[in-house]
Chain A
Amino acid sequence: AQSVAQPEDQVNVAEGNPLTVKCTYSVSGNPYLFWYVQYPNRGLQFLLKYITGDNLVKGSYGFEAEFNKSQTSFHLKKPSALVSDSALYFCAVSLSGNTGKLIFGQGTTLQVKP
C-alpha cells in the first residue's frame, strides 16, 4: 500500500535560518511528489511538485525540495525562513497513470520565530 510519512509533528526554526521539513514515501511504481501548505481557515495551496527530471525542484515563495529515489525521500527546504512561513505543511504522493488521487502525510507544523 502507498503511504507518506512526515516524521516530525512540528519544526521550530528562527527567522533567517534554513529550514527542512522531512518527507518519506512508500509506493510501488513511479511517484509524483507534491508539497502543499495550509494556512488557518484556508484551503491547501500548492508549493511544488516532482514529476520527472532534475531531482531538485523549485517552487513558490522560495521553497525547494529534493527527490532522493534511493532514500525514498522528498524533503522540503528553504535557505532563509520567514515568520510568514509559519503554517501546516503536507507532503503528498500520486502514482503515474493513476487517477491523480493524492495520498497525504499527516502534516508538519512549521513555527518560525522572530
Chain B
Amino acid sequence: GAGVSQSPRYKVAKRGQDVALRCDPISGHVSLFWYQQALGQGPEFLTYFQNEAQLDKSGLPSDRFFAERPEGSVSTLKIQRTQQEDSAVYLCASSPIIAGPSYNEQFFGPGTRLTVL
C-alpha cells in the first residue's frame, strides 16, 4: 500500500513569502506528526494531531508556523513570512493508533526540503 506522501518535495521561497507544505498520511492512521530537520541534525518535533484535533503544538517555533488537519486525514503545515532560519527538511509521520501501552512506530514521509533565500 501507499506510504506517507509529502508535497512538494522541494520548495524554494524568498524571505517573507508564505509557504504551505502538504502531508498525506497512510489511510486510516489516527495520529499525525510534523517534525523539522535542520541540516546535520535529528528531527525535532513540531506538532501532533489525533484525527482532526491538534493536541500538542509545543514544538512550533513561532506564531508564524501553523498546522491544520481539518478532516482528520490530509494535513498542511503553513509558514508565514518565511525567514532563512526556517530552511530545513519538514517531515510528516503517521501512526495507526493513539500513543499508549501498545505504542506503535511512526511511518515517515520523504520530507519537503524548504530553502529560504
Interface residues of A (CB under 8 A from B): 4, 32, 34, 36, 41-46, 49, 51, 90, 92, 94, 96-107
Interface residues of B (CB under 8 A from A): 3-4, 31, 33, 35, 40-45, 48, 50, 55-56, 59, 91, 93, 95, 98-103, 105-111
Extra pairs beyond A43-B110, A94-B99 (15, CB < 8 Å): A42-B110, A44-B91, A90-B42, A92-B42, A98-B99, A99-B50, A99-B55, A99-B56, A100-B48, A101-B45, A101-B48, A101-B56, A102-B43, A104-B42, A104-B44
B45 and A43 form a contact (CB under 8 A) = no
Rounded to whole angstroms, the CA-CA distance of A105 and B40 in the bound complex is 11
Given contacts A46-B107, A106-B41, A107-B41, contact A101 B101 (CB under 8 A): no
Rounded to whole angstroms, the CA-CA distance of A41 and B110 in the bound complex is 7
Set of chain A residues within 8 Å of B59, measured between Cβ atoms: 101
B42 and A100 form a contact (CB under 8 A) = no
A96 and B42 form a contact (CB under 8 A) = no
Interface centre among B4, B44, B45 (most CB of A within 10 A): B45
Closest 4 pairs (CB-CB, A-B): A100-B99, A104-B42, A43-B108, A44-B108
Rounded to whole angstroms, the CA-CA distance of A101 and B103 in the bound complex is 11
Say which residue of B99, B105, B109, B111 sits within 8 Å of A99 (CB atoms).
B99
B106 and A46 form a contact (CB under 8 A) = yes
Given contacts A43-B110, A101-B33, contact A107 B100 (CB under 8 A): no
The chain A residue with its CB closest to the CB of B103 is: A32
Set of chain B residues within 8 Å of A107, measured between Cβ atoms: 40-42
The chain A residue with its CB closest to the CB of B98 is: A100
